[in-house]
Amino acid sequence: MRQSELFTKVSRAAPKDEVALNAELLTRGGFIYKNSAGVYSFLPLGWRVIQKIAGIIREEMNAIGGQELFMAALHDKRYLKATKRWDVGVVFKVVSGGKDAGEKEPGFNISWTHEEIMAEIGTKYVSSYKDLPFAAYQIQTKFRNEPRAKSGLLRGREFLMKDLYSFHTSEEDLFKYYDRVAAAYQKIFARCGLKAYYTLAAGGDFTASNTHEFQVVADVGEDTIYLCEKCEYAENKEISKLTVGGKCPKCGTGIREEKAIEVGNIFPLGTKYSEAFNLQFADEQGRKKYVVMGSYGIGLGRVMATIVEVMSDKSGIVWPANVAPFRVHLLALNGANGDAAYRALQDEKIEVLYDDRSLSAGEKFAEADLVGIPWRLVVSPKLGTKVEVKRRGENNAEIMDIKEVTKKLSENGLLQ
């Protein structure tokens, strides 16, 4: 797309009301707009990144048999009442609007989580062991009244989440699937350019048994993990009996402590929700049993923010190619016309942002570095018919024909 037509602009100045690096860079680059503390809108560049992350998640969820659905966000109070969670502090409740039409008691909350909804839907379609196992997921908004929403997209009061739910006849079957989800999650984070450690963690609001988190090492992380660098065994400090410098229980190497961001988590739910909603199946002998459930979450905005936190440099963001809003940033400098190069890239189906605006070369370079698209292409009068090609985050530029460029980019697997 032509940058002259993009309605957002890059801003030189840091926003005054942000302390988190992810929020600062994403705001300056025109990726997000802050509506309230912890509440953001995704602008066109940011929405393209979210859609790239969503596409990767969908592919990996479909590959393990996940069936995509889209559950309601407005939840009758019967759902959280059934699991005694209606009065949890982070739940946003809903009352009707008109001055006179106001309800005395809230009748709905907005989606804090969807375990209850999913379990109730399950009761409609599960009656026999033959109906199990299955798994369903969605990408939908969650709302949580976080008291400390100062970390940009890392901790929002409204955020997009992929939540997968699985349904099984036994714990054994659940844990078999649990391992498949863990492997799929590792693929997702790797494709997003993140190194995530599979970390043993405590139960929480959702389950009493141990759960697992996917933790990305980062100074701004709210979590602390004990980590073995050699075999990658990790535990959340909250539940860990390991000690810094002590031996890894798996391989004997020394344990170190790291701050980390939780980018995903997986929960064995057991029968908590199936008991609350009477989600039962008849086994092969006709005996009624409660369905065994698991749930598995990834915050899309948090993944985006984590990428920015761990992969930016002093000039701006450095997007991994798979999640970048565009693959190529084409800059036309000093009055040069980049239309021919723009068309050549489009003809090869390479996603390109074309900076066709009347700004100085210095301004265009600075803005391109901030926005962080993987490949920067320059046309200028002194280059003639050639193009200068540079990878974001690297210093060396090459000068080549546009045909060589498209060949190079497709060899690098950067086609759409």
Contacts with a second copy, residue ranges (CB under 8 A): 5-9, 30, 33, 35-36, 39-44, 46-47, 50, 65, 67-76, 86-99, 101, 106, 108-110, 117, 120-121, 124-125, 131, 134, 136, 141, 143, 145, 157-158, 167
Shortest distance, CB of residue 30 to a second copy, whole angstroms? Answer: 8
Assign 359 to helix, strand or coil: coil
67 vs 209, beta carbon nearer a second copy: 67
Closest to a second copy by CB, 68 vs 238, is 68
Q: How far apart are CA 301 and CA 279, in angstroms?
A: 32
- 334: left (phi > 0), else alpha (psi -120 to 50), else beta? left
Would you say 89 or 335 has its CB closer to a second copy? 89
We find the least distance from the C-beta atom of residue 46 to a second copy, in angstroms, to be 8
C-beta closer to a second copy: residue 40 or 214: 40
Q: Which residue has the tokens 């949890």?
A: 88
Q: CB 92 → a second copy: shortest distance, Å?
A: 5
Task: Give the nearest distance from C-beta 132 to a second copy in angstroms.
Answer: 9
Half-sphere exposure (Cβ direction) of 91: Cα atoms closer than 13 Å: 23
Query: For residue 211, what are the contacts with CB-CB under 8 A and spacing of at least 6?
Result: 201, 202, 203, 204, 265, 266, 267, 268
- Other Cβ atoms less than 10 A from the Cβ of 22: the count is 27
d(CA 379, CA 381): 7
Nearest distance from residue 333's CB to a second copy, in Å? Answer: 20
- Cα dihedral 82, 203, 111, 94 sign: positive
Q: Min. distance of Cβ 210 from a second copy in angstroms?
A: 27
Whole-angstrom distance, CA of residue 412 vs CA of residue 406: 10
**Which of 234/308 has CB closer to a second copy?**
308
Tally Cβ neighbours within 10 Å of residue 208.
12
Sign of CA dihedral 148, 151, 157, 161: negative
**Cβ 88 to a second copy, closest distance in Å?**
6
Task: Closer to a second copy by CB, 358 or 385: give it.
Answer: 358
| 26 vs 225 by CB, closer to a second copy | 26
